[in-house]
A and B are shown apart, each in its own frame.
Chain A
Amino acid sequence: MSTHWIVALTCCLSLPALAESTHPLLAGYAVQARQQAPQFAGFSAERGKALYFAEVPRNGKTMSCTTCHTADPRQPGKTPAHRNVAPLAPSVNPERFTDLQKVEKWFRRNCDDVYARACTAQEKGDFISWIDSIR
């Protein structure tokens, strides 16, 4: 009963961000986001994009998601330790954002590396909404 209610609410609240299709991981992040902040009002691809490009000062340089993933997530990137990184955008790399454990692992590591904190469920959902919308 309560599950149906949450799913129904999730669908309504997320409509603006999900005009085309719903990424499978968003429903779960919506439930979490509502637990973290009762005023949760859906995910925003715009905010997700801003998160990707936000620059944070680190050791005299700036750090952002683009440091490794480049300014175009459809392109391959490179880590500071010289490893190639496969493209992040699911439109060119369909394996991305399919395995929740992997997704959580990399949010945990990379949010800490870039923002020196954990990302919220709101931010994760925003980000997935944006990255999944890139064609």
Chain B
Amino acid sequence: MKTLALAAVGGLSLTLLVATSSVADDDNHNGYKRPKRLALPSDAPLLWKEECAACHMLYVPALLPAEAWRQQMQTLEQHYGSNASLDAQQAREILDFLLRSSAANRLPVEPSATAGEPPRISQTRWFAHKHDEVSAATFQRAAVGSRANCVACHHGAERGDFDEDRVKIPR
């Protein structure tokens, strides 16, 4: 019952977002849109913040669809070349959070170009589109690091703030 009500509210707000974004957003084409509601959920567990930001920046769940997170969590022993394994109980708690807080992301799962790797946020079509004016050389600057290091330019990225007006690309 409660779930139904939540789903209804979720569906309504999604409709509203889509309606407004078709006017203001240039990313609505062929039904493929950039992820919405990127803000960090207020119920984000400390466990997730600690475990998923020890080696890299904290990626907010809405950046990938739920199924992509499931694939991430199933392959932690080979996580882009590193062993990021967790004990089963912690993995379960983190997966639960990722699944429920990425529900607003209705995008298809886009597999990584590298076989055997889980999906990469930086290889989604919306990411490519949003960064089409950023050169490969810019991404390789020492102060940027790589396409995976959102915080280099989006200083609020770990809170889910990717507002273009606040982007500062370091020299």
Contact = CB atoms under 8 A, between A and B. Distances in A.
B152 interface: yes
Contacts, number: 36
B85 A83 contact: no
Contacts of B152: 82
A46 interface: no
A113 interface: yes
Interface residues of B, number: 19
B56 interface: yes
Contacts of A80: 81-82
Interface string A107-135: 01110110000000000000000000000
Interface of B: 53-57, 77, 80-87, 145-146, 148-149, 152
Interface of A: 79-83, 105, 108-110, 112-113
Q: Return the 6 tightest CB-CB contacts between A and B, nearest first.
A: A81-B56, A112-B83, A82-B145, A109-B83, A82-B149, A79-B55
20 contacts: A80-B82, A81-B55, A81-B56, A81-B148, A81-B149, A82-B56, A82-B145, A82-B149, A83-B53, A83-B54, A83-B56, A105-B87, A109-B82, A109-B85, A110-B83, A112-B77, A112-B83, A113-B81, A113-B82, A113-B83
